[in-house]
Amino acid sequence: MKPAPRLLAATFLALLGGTLFQAWLLAGQNRDRASAAAQLAAGQQQLHAWQQERDRAETERAALEKEIAAAAAETATTRAAANDAGLTDWLQRVERLKDWLQQNPERRIPEMQFLNSNDWLSATFDNRLETEAQIRLALRKLRTLAKAKPEISANFNQALHAYMRAHDGEPITALAQLRAYLQPSLGDDILSRYAVVPETPGVNDRNGVNRDGMRFLGAGRIVFEERVLPDADYDTRLIFMEQGNGSVSVSRIEMAVGQATTAFIKANPGIAVSRPEQLLPYLPPAIEEQALREYWEVKDWK
C-alpha cells in the first residue's frame, strides 16, 4: 500500500480508536450523568417530601392551636356563664389542685388513678388551698380517698384473706404472693408501695398497737402496710391485719397533737386547749413548732 492509503488507514484507525475511546468515555459520562441526575432527583424529591411534611405539620399545628384556643375560650365562657361564684371557685380549686400535683408529681401516688370527680370535689370543697398546710391537707385527703377505693383497700384485704384461706391461715411473707388473688390485678407501681411487716412480739402482734407515733386498730397482727408516705406528717398509713378490713392509721401529726392535748389537759385540769402554743411543751420532738402552727389552722377540717 502506498503512503497515502497507509496514512488514511492510520487515520481511520486513529479515528476509530479515538471514537471508541470517546464512546467509552461518553458511556461512562452518561452513567455518571444518569447517576448524578438520579441523585439530584432523589434530593429534590426528598426536599419536596420534607417541605410537604413541614407544611402538613404546620397546618396541623395551626389547627391544633386553634382548637386549644377555642377550648380555652369555651371554658372561659362556661365559667362566665356560671352564676354561682362559689361553685365556680370550687371548680377552679379542683383545677388548681390538679395543676399543683402535676408540678409536684412526688406527692402523687399511683392509687390516685382510681379517683373520680367527686373525690376531687371532696378534697377541695371546704379547702381554699391558700396555704401550704391547706394544700397538704387536700392532698392527704386525695391520697386517703385513693387508698380507700375498693380497687385498693378492699382488693388487698380480700386478696390477703383469700391467700390465708388457701394456706391454712398463714399470712403472706412477700407481697408478690398476693398477685394471684388481686381482683382487679394491680400494677407494680402500686404493689411496690407496700411491704410485708415482720411479726415483732409486743410491737405489732396485737390490737391497738402504737407504731411510729401512730395507733393502729384491727385484729391480729399487721401483715403488710404502706411502705412510704409522701407526706410523713399528714398522711395516714394503710395497713392490713390478719383479721378485719384494711385499716387507716391516724397521721403522725394528728397523733402528736392528740397526745399533747391529753398531756396538757392532765397537767391543766379544766382548761381547754384553744391555741397551739399551749401544746408546745407537750409536743413530741419529731413535730416542729412551725408544723404544729400550720396544722392547727386546718386541724378541724375534714
Binders of other proteins among 14-53, rule CB under 8 A? 15-16, 18-19, 22-23, 25-26, 29-30, 32-33, 36-37, 39-40, 43-44, 46-47, 50-51, 53
Binding residue for other proteins (CB under 8 A) from 94, 139, 197, 253? 94
Contacting other proteins (CB under 8 A), which of 78, 131, 185, 192? 78
Q: Does 161 bind other proteins (CB under 8 A)?
A: yes
Gap between the Cα atoms of 61 and 211, Å rounded: 56
Of 301, 299, 254, 246, the closest CA to residue 274 belongs to 299
Per the structure block, which three cell numbers stand in for 106?
412526688
Q: Is 98 in the site for other proteins (CB under 8 A)?
A: yes
> What CA–CA distance (Å, rounded) separates 273 from 70?
54
- Interface with other proteins includes 71 (CB under 8 A)? yes
**Sequence-distant (≥ 6) Cβ neighbours of residue 213 within 8 angstroms:** 252, 255, 256, 284, 286
Q: Which one of the spans 63-71, 130-138, 199-207, 250-258 is the region binding other proteins (CB under 8 A)?
A: 63-71
Q: x/- string (CB under 8 A) for other proteins, residues 230-249?
A: -------------xxx----
- Closest contact distance (angstroms) between CB of 20 and other proteins is 9
- For 114-124, give one letter per residue: b (16+ CB within 10 A) or e: bbeeebbebbb
Q: Which of 76, 130, 165, 271 binds other proteins (CB under 8 A)?
A: 165
Distance CA 289, CA 69 (A): 47
